[in-house]
Amino acid sequence: MTTITSPTEFTLARRHTTDRRNPVRWIISHTTRYWWLVLIMFIGAIGNAALAGYVPVLTGDAFNAMLKVPPEMKVLLPLALIMGGSQVLRGILQLGRNFGAELIAQRIERNVRDELYVSLLGKSMTFHNLQPVGDTMARATNDVREVNYMFSPGINLVVGSLVFLVMPLFFAPRYHWSLLLTPIVFTIAYFIALRWYMRTLNPIPEDVRDSFGQMNTHLSEALDGIETMKGAAQEEAEIKRFNVNSRRLRDNNIRQGDVEARFVPLLLYFMALAGGLLHAILLYRLGILNIGDVVAYFGILLMLEFPTWTSIWAYSLISSGLAGGRRILDLINRETNLDQNAAGYTQPMRGEIEFRNLTFAYPTGEAVLRDISFTVKPGQTVAIVGQTGTGKTSLAKLVNRTYDTTGGQILVDGVDVHDWNLASLRSQISIIEQDVFLFSRSVAENIAFGKPGATKEEIETAAKSAQADEFIRQFEKGYETVIGERGVTLSGGQRQRLAIARAFLTDPRILILDDSTSAIDSATEDMIQHAIAAAAKGRTTLIITHRLSQIRWADLIIVLRKGRIAAIGNHDDLLKTSDAYARIFRE
């Protein structure tokens, strides 16, 4: 078996390479794209804090001017003008800080969402079969939004608050060097308390994000299975299950709120105000400071309020953002065994398929196919039959590498499917499944899904070949009718005919029909049988079915039993020679 080295199914080119080793590196690698915005944010934060610290200094000077005998009134107007002008400039700088942070947040949210979306499209079906849709949606929406909030207001406030924390250390010495004592002690105690706070807080946001994902998974499954749930009258039971998940999310949020409520720096801040004011008053009584100096110094200490109060929730936003980033990155880094193989084989397909000692098992179970070997010649129609659970659908989906073999080989036109360019391989193979998926788009768009540039005439021709044109024209808007999600506004037979029309339009060299006429009534079946027979001419066709009317005209019939080939031949011969084949029709 060919070794696949790439961890993703689609190796799509990325305009910006991100460091995916851990959440912090990953987020930083996104941020460095916008270094100029980071610079604007820091310049704005430093200027804002410096000018905020200048206000107490000017206020102290005004107090001294008023307390002189006689008061120096002529000094007050210049001080007021300087204060007013500085605060206008401060407002501009603060706008720059907020603008830079918000623009970074919005752009990173967009880029993270794009990166995740591309990654999800590139994952194999093995990944998507095991990953709950609800949890994926929670990561793609709520967790991505948490990364946004981490920057704005999270990091924006943290950067601003840290600069505010430094300003008292810068302004205090202008009055007396000993006044550095209070801001220094507070800063040291603040970071010690903050370290304890973050160590206590960090595990909780991840639990919040996980519990939200679990709740969303249950909600998604309940809505997808709403018909089954109502049919079994299980609404009350589902409500109880949802309440369990909802309570778990509530409890985790309460845990986070409890940690935030015990934020020690608040106590430290008020102690710093009391201690700093007492220190300044003692220096005043010693004649070292005047009234204006005491007022200015106390105003400078009040700057510590901003980093103290914002830290309560700003660091929570950062912690939640990192938790969300960790969950997103976990999804992106989840490995698969498929690769696009962009440099692989891309020639037009003749349609020959060869299975050589094929073995296949899903990651969570035992092998469902063992030692499968047979060859399908170009243009042949092959029926694959067997009881439920014998691996018929799995066998068909290995041809276009929806799943990958775990042993042996599949060759198309003599080339191992691993050596084909994946896009080229899949574009020449069309699978019509029993459970047809249709998008919430127009009928025409659904038919042209595999060929977006198809003309109106091509779409209508394909629909006529699939016996779908007649019922489509009965809709009020015809081919422009928008159908419900998953085609719920259509009958089973109508959905399958649209899927057949989609396959006809792409003109595949290999056509796989996975019990695709199971929901079609007898009157419609005859018409579709003729359409399928016409479509099968000149192309290789694999039919998975229990209908004798389809099996009889197959060139070759493969009988599967317990994941192995029980018999190969045509209908008449197998009825005589194969008990397994005859048993299918007797049952």
Give the pLDDT score at 198. Answer: 83
Note whether residue 60 is domain-resident.
Answer: yes
Token pair in block for residue 547: 């209908």
Burial bucket for residue 196 (CB in 10 Å: 0-12, 13-18, 19+): exposed
- Of 333, 364, 386, at which residue does a domain stop? 333
Please tell me the total number of residues recorded for the chain in this structure. Answer: 587
- Are residues 80 and 139 both part of a single domain? yes
What is the rounded CA–CA span in Å between residue 387 and residue 581? 10
203 and 311 share a domain? yes
Q: Is the peptide bond before 153 cis (omega within 30 degrees of 0)?
A: yes
pLDDT of residue 504: 82
- Between strands 381-386 and 407-412, the pairing is unpaired
Residue-by-residue DSSP string for 207-239: HHHHHHHHHHHHHHHHHHTHHHHHHTT-HHHHH
Quick one: DSSP state of residue 565? E
Residue 10: inside a domain, yes or no? no
Angle, helices 181-201 vs 265-285, to 10°: value is 180
Amino acid symbol at 395? L
Amino acid 7: pLDDT: 39
The total of structural domains in the chain comes to 2
397 in the same domain as 249: no
Do β-strands 510-514 and 540-544 pair in parallel, antiparallel, or remain unpaired?
Answer: parallel
Distance CA 310, CA 314 (A): 6
* Residue range(s) defining the domain that contains residue 76: 23-333
Work out the burial of residue 378: count CB atoms within 10 Å of its CB; fewer than 13 is exposed, 13-18 middle, 19 or more buried. middle
Q: What is the pLDDT of residue 337?
A: 56
Return the pLDDT at 215: 86
Sheet containing strand 407-412, edge to edge, reads: 367-376, 353-361, 407-412, 415-416
What pTM value is reported for the model?
A: 0.73
Cis geometry, peptide bond prior to residue 56 (ω within 30 degrees of 0): no
Domain boundary pick from 298, 333, 368: 333
Express each pLDDT in 475-498 by its tens digit.
888 899 888 765 667 877 788 788
Q: What does each of the 587 residues of the chain score in pLDDT, given as a tens digit? A: 333 333 344 545 555 788 888 999 999 999 999 999 999 999 999 999 999 999 999 999 888 888 877 877 888 888 889 999 999 999 999 999 999 999 999 999 999 999 998 888 878 777 777 778 888 888 888 899 999 999 989 999 999 999 999 999 999 999 999 999 999 999 999 999 888 888 888 888 888 888 888 888 888 777 777 766 777 777 887 888 888 888 988 998 888 888 877 778 888 999 999 999 999 999 999 999 999 999 999 999 999 999 998 888 888 889 889 989 999 999 888 865 566 777 888 898 999 999 999 999 887 777 889 999 999 999 888 989 888 888 888 898 899 888 888 899 999 999 999 899 888 898 888 888 777 778 888 899 888 888 888 899 999 988 888 878 888 998 888 899 888 765 667 877 788 788 888 888 888 889 888 876 655 566 666 666 666 666 667 789 898 887 777 787 788 999 988 889 988 988 888 888 888 777 776 66
CATH of the domain at 83: 1.20.1560.10
Angle at 360 between CA 582 and CA 435, to 5 degrees: 70
Is 7 domain-assigned?
no
560 conformational bin, left if phi > 0, alpha if psi -120 to 50, beta if neither: beta
Whether residue 430 sits in one domain with residue 300: no
Element (H, E) at 367: strand 367-376
Residues 267, 396, single domain; the answer is: no
Measured distance CA(383)–CA(568) in Å, rounded? 10
Examine the fold and report which residue of 333, 368, 396 is the final residue of a domain before the chain moves on.
333
Q: Does residue 482 fall inside a structural domain?
A: yes
Same domain, 315 and 359: no
Kind plus residue range of the DSSP H or E element containing 127:
helix 125-130
My answer on whether 329 and 400 are in the same domain is: no
User: 318, 28 in Cβ contact below 8 A?
Assistant: no
Longest dimension (CA), the chain: 125
Q: Is residue 5 part of a domain?
A: no
Statement to judge: residues 429 and 466 lie in one domain: yes
Task: Give CA–CA dist 437/446, Å, rounded.
Answer: 10
Sign, CA dihedral 312-314-318-323, equals positive
The answer to whether residue 282 is domain-embedded is yes
CATH number, domain with residue 536: 3.40.50.300
In a domain, 523, yes or no: yes
Kindly state whether residues 485 and 578 are assigned to the same domain.
yes
2 within some domain: no
